């Protein structure tokens, strides 16, 4: 518990009233966030922004379970927004923090979430500049929902899908499927949660290391591989450019335990959500340098090339299996896997 004490050990409706209990809750939040919170309690934050362009993104987080083996909803909220900024080539700078709390949510758990937000924001080098908290009745939310909006600045040209070209290599920064297996294992009792951990991580430091070590333009575009998994990313790029993307099944970085769990679930890791994996589209002459830069960072140690963008029209994704035959990777039509981020 923070040094600031509040009157209740659980969230109550009056914590959202704007009166004394609200002030107690805000004091607890501010003290727990510590140096990463720089708000001045005004109705709007006033911020310096350098450069001619900014990147801005927003996301909401409803994670079940909100606490898991090596993370929680707070860590996911910071990483998800930071990564969305970093993959377009921006340097994440500022975050907002919105919380919807259900009555009965233990204050101790709230402090755990806030501590995780603080620690992850410190690692990512971002500041939380404003926020909002709402309290709803029990049953109107699933314990805690978070929303974060992020702002980043550019010192280079933004990365765009339209810059991807035939011949570009498709590179993954690390294993796929671990986040999905970890959370589903906890939720469904599959027994893999101690052997397969979530990959949740802020990727801006890793990507910055790539950007400063290769010529500008060598990395054409980047996506973080989240909902819908790698399949969704590849289909988005194939459709946008009208080109066929070819990948090698044998090259996909899938932990053996993750593959086992996916077999039990009747699906493939290529469709699984992740929270710490980036997919990079890279000029062929820069492939070796990009892989070296990724592998020199702890979050990119498992980086591999999995395929390439071809000159073939069609906008499809095809994969060569262990038998050497090519097959079309079908995009999921609905929720084959539950929402996990």
SS (HEC) of the chain: CCCCCCCCCECCHHHHCCCHHHHHHHHHHHHHHHHHECCCCCCCCCCCCCCCCEEEEEEEECCCCCEECCEEHHHHHHHHHHHHHHCCCCEEEEEEEEEEEECCCEHHHHHHHHHHHHHHHHHHCCEEEEEEEEEECCCCCCCEEEEEEEEEECCCCCCCHHHCCCCCEEEECCCCCHHHHHHHHHHHCCCCCCCCCCCCCCCHHHHHHHHCCCCCCCEEEEEECCCCHHHHHHHHHHHHHCEEEEEEHHHCCCCHHHHHHHHHHCCCHHHCCCCCCEEEEECHHHHHHHHHHHHCCHHHCCCEEEEEEEEEECCCEEEECCCCCEEECCCCCCCCCCCCC
Whole-number Å distance between alpha carbons of 334 and 127 = 36
Strands 67-68 and 71-72: antiparallel
Q: Is the pLDDT of residue 208 over 80?
A: yes
Greater model confidence, 336 or 213:
213
Per-residue model confidence (pLDDT) at position 267 = 87
Under the banding of pLDDT at 50, 70 and 90, the label for residue 148 is very high
Per-residue model confidence (pLDDT) at position 337 = 64
Under the banding of pLDDT at 50, 70 and 90, the label for residue 42 is confident
Q: Is the pLDDT of residue 163 over 80?
A: yes
Whole-number Å distance between alpha carbons of 271 and 336 = 9
Listed range (78-92, 227-241, 323-337) with the worst mean pLDDT: 323-337
Listed range (39-43, 56-60, 247-251, 303-307) with the worst mean pLDDT: 39-43
77-93 pLDDT, tens digit per residue, is 999 999 999 999 999 99
Under the banding of pLDDT at 50, 70 and 90, the label for residue 1 is very low
Q: Is the pLDDT of residue 250 over 90?
A: yes
Length of the chain: 341
8 A C-beta contact, residue 320 and residue 241: no
Listed range (141-150, 202-211, 264-273) with the worst mean pLDDT: 264-273
Compute φ and ψ for 280, nearest 5 degrees.
Answer: -110, 140
Listed range (112-116, 220-224, 260-264, 282-286) with the worst mean pLDDT: 260-264
Q: For 109-168, where are the E strands, in sequence order?
A: 127-136, 144-153
User: Stretch 211-236: mean pLDDT, rounded?
Assistant: 96
Per-residue model confidence (pLDDT) at position 326 = 96
3-state secondary structure of 219: strand
* Residues β-bridged to residue 221: 281
Per-residue model confidence (pLDDT) at position 43 = 83
% of the chain residues with pLDDT over 70: 96
- The separation between the first and the last C-alpha atoms of the chain, rounded to the nearest angstrom, is 27
% of the chain residues with pLDDT over 90: 84
Q: Is the pLDDT of residue 155 over 50?
A: yes
Q: What is the set of domains in the chain, with CATH numbers?
A: 13-153 (3.30.1330.10), 161-328 (3.90.650.10)
Per-residue model confidence (pLDDT) at position 4 = 57
pTM here? 0.94
User: Stretch 61-88: mean pLDDT, rounded?
Assistant: 96
Under the banding of pLDDT at 50, 70 and 90, the label for residue 52 is confident
User: Stretch 247-259: mean pLDDT, rounded?
Assistant: 97
């Amino acid at each position: 518990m923070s040094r600031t004490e509040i009157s209740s050990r659980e969230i109550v409706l009056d914590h959202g009233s704007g009166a004394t209990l609200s002030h107690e809750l805000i004091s607890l939040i501010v003290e727990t966030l510590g140096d990463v919170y720089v708000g001045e309690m005004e109705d709007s934050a006033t911020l310096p922004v350098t450069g001619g362009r900014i990147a801005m993104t927003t996301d909401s987080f409803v994670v079940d379970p909100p606490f898991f083996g090596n993370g929680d909803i707070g860590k996911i909220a910071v990483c998800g927004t930071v990564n969305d900024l970093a993959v377009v080539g921006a340097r994440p700078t500022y975050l907002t923090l919105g919380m919807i709390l259900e009555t009965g949510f233990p204050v101790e758990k709230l402090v755990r979430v806030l501590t995780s937000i603080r620690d992850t924001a410190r690692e990512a080098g971002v500041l939380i500049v404003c926020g909002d908290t709402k309290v709803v009745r029990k049953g109107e939310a699933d314990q805690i929902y978070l929303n974060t909006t992020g702002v980043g600045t550019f010192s280079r040209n933004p990365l765009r899908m339209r810059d991807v070209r035939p011949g570009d290599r498709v590179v993954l920064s690390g294993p796929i499927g671990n986040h999905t297996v970890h959370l589903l294992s906890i939720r469904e009792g599959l027994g893999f949660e101690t052997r397969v951990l979530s990959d949740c991580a802020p990727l801006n430091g890793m990507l910055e290391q790539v950007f400063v070590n290769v010529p500008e333009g060598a990395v054409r575009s980047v996506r973080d591989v989240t909902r819908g998994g790698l399949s969704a990313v590849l289909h988005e790029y194939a459709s946008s450019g009208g080109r066929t993307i070819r990948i090698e099944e044998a090259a996909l970085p899938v932990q053996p335990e993750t593959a086992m769990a996916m077999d039990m679930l009747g699906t493939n890791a290529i469709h699984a959500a992740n929270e710490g994996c980036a997919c990079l589209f890279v000029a062929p002459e820069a492939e070796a340098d990009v892989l070296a830069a990724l592998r020199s960072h702890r979050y990119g140690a498992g980086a591999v090339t999995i395929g390439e963008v071809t000159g073939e029209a069609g906008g499809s994704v095809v994969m060569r299996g262990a038998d050497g035959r090519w097959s079309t990777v079908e995009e999921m039509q609905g929720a084959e896997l539950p929402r996990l981020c």
